[in-house]
Amino acid sequence: MRHDGRHSALPAPPAWMRWLPLLYVIGVLLLEPVTPVQWPVSFVLIALPLVTAFAHPPAVVAGATVVGIGLELLLAGTPCCAGRAVGYVWERHYVAAYVCTVLVGALGTILAAHRIRRERTLADVRFVAEIAQRVLLRPVPHRIGNLLLESFYLSAAAEARIGGDLYEAVPTAYGVRLVIGDVRGKGLLAVETAAAMLGAFREAAHDEPDLNALVERVDISMSRRAYQLGGSETGERFVTAVFAEVRDDEGVVRVVNCGHPPPLLIRPGEVSELDRGRSGPPLNLGMLVGDPYHVDTYRFGPGDQLLLYTDGVTETRDPHGSFYPLLQRLRSWGPMPPPELLDRLHQDLQTYSGDQLQDDTAALTAFLLPSAAAGPADAGPDEQDTEGYPDPST
């Protein structure tokens, strides 16, 4: 139910399904005059209510039942069909057809009512899932200080609208802190784990002055959460993630990689992976090795852009089974603003996979403006300052 107590809008059925009853009737009317006398094609109008029930409400199904009986009576009296209704046997068959049409019409009306109830339930569940996703994955601020931010999320299951991928950007006294992650597994357990990790990150990001300490604190929280859930798979409830930190006027970005695809640094004429081969284990597996997490520092100046993404991007396959060439795509596109970059990436992933994404996909990008272009933090979508963006035409 919506917040005002009304049901969510039902999805409209495809156009071909809405027009199917009319096409069905037209087909019968075209076949009836050209078939032999011993083939009473008009009898197939018995199925008209069921055909209508696929995409129309009960009232329309009841109307289709009346139309079906009327057409059967009309066809029985036409010259081309008169010979079929002569005699007691054929008369009895037509009466049986009328009775069957009424019975099938009643069944179709019931099925249509049941279908609408199921569709309304699904629409309400999807509405609740969308609200849950907005709570779990809050839209990142479009601007924090001199950082311009943008994100997107695609669920492989359109009916679910929510999954185990996560991202967040938090302004703190220690700089802007970013995270993107991918929870192992699917379903409600993955969503619950993602919520627990985001909660731990949002709290610890303000308390821990050191990025490495922040990661270790989140790792402890995830281990505690996995232990509380119990079961035989406690050690397998892990999350791969990348943490990043950008402080004002330092000219660097700090990165901690926890078994996740490395982030990309985009500059005019250059796209490179931020990977020094020191990736730590996924969260909740840090206790398996000592001193598991390392902070790597990279130059990050005005005009640079950082792209964080989940493996749903690079593991997207085309119809021939080839993986999505993310680096090649970015190098061929050239520099572009964060909204345009993620829109282009979104559309390209859909096209590359033939609209058949097999995994949840998330991406988060941060573009560094010159200090002089920095404006108020947390600017809304209509307040974004495009000064300092790379020019896509160059």
d(CA 294, CA 324) in angstroms, rounded, equals 29
pLDDT tens profile 71-102: 877 776 655 454 444 444 456 666 777 888 89
**368 with 305: CB under 8 angstroms?**
yes
Q: Does residue 298 have a pLDDT over 50?
A: yes
pLDDT tens profile 325-346: 999 999 999 888 999 999 999 9
d(CA 108, CA 50) in angstroms, rounded, equals 5
Residue-level pLDDT at 286: 65
Q: Does residue 237 have a pLDDT over 80?
A: no
Alpha helices per DSSP H over the chain? 15-31, 48-53, 58-77, 79-82, 88-136, 187-207, 211-229, 311-314, 326-333, 338-353
For the chain, the average pLDDT equals 81
Q: Which two tokens stand for residue 265?
A: 């640094």
Residue-level pLDDT at 44: 85
For helices 211-229 and 187-207, what crossing angle results, to 10°? 150
Q: How confident is the model at residue 133 (pLDDT cuts 50, 70, 90)?
A: low
CA torsion, points 132, 137, 138, 143, in degrees to nearest 10? -170
Q: Does residue 354 have a pLDDT over 80?
A: yes
pLDDT, greater one: 229 or 355: 355
d(CA 70, CA 315) in angstroms, rounded, equals 57
Give the SS3 label for residue 264: strand
User: Which one, of 328, 317, 364, lies nearest residue 176 by Cα?
Assistant: 364
pLDDT tens profile 173-219: 999 999 999 987 766 677 788 888 899 999 999 999 999 999 999 99
What type of residue is 38?
Answer: Q
Q: Give the global pTM.
A: 0.68
d(CA 107, CA 366) in angstroms, rounded, equals 57
Q: Does residue 377 have a pLDDT over 80?
A: no
Q: How confident is the model at residue 19 (pLDDT cuts 50, 70, 90)?
A: very high
The percentage of the chain sitting over the pLDDT mark of 90, rounded to a whole number, equals 41
- The contacts of residue 315 (CB under 8 Å, 6+ apart) are 323, 324, 358, 359
d(CA 49, CA 393) in angstroms, rounded, equals 58
CA distances to 53, 70, 104, 308, 333 from 58, rounded to whole Å, are 7, 19, 13, 50, 52
Q: What's the average model confidence in pLDDT over 377-389?
A: 42
d(CA 315, CA 156) in angstroms, rounded, equals 12
pLDDT tens profile 261-295: 999 999 988 999 999 888 888 988 766 666 678 89
Q: Which of 2-6, 272-276, 288-292, 354-358 has the highest mean pLDDT?
A: 272-276
Q: Does residue 256 have a pLDDT over 70?
A: yes
- DSSP 8-state class, residue 359: S
Q: Which CATH class is domain 139-383?
A: alpha beta
Q: Does residue 233 have a pLDDT over 80?
A: no
pLDDT, greater one: 127 or 316: 316
What type of residue is 85?
Answer: A
The residues that bridge with 183 in the sheet, in sequence order, are: 239
Q: Could you tell me the residue ranges of all domains in the chain?
A: 15-129, 139-383
Residue-level pLDDT at 331: 93
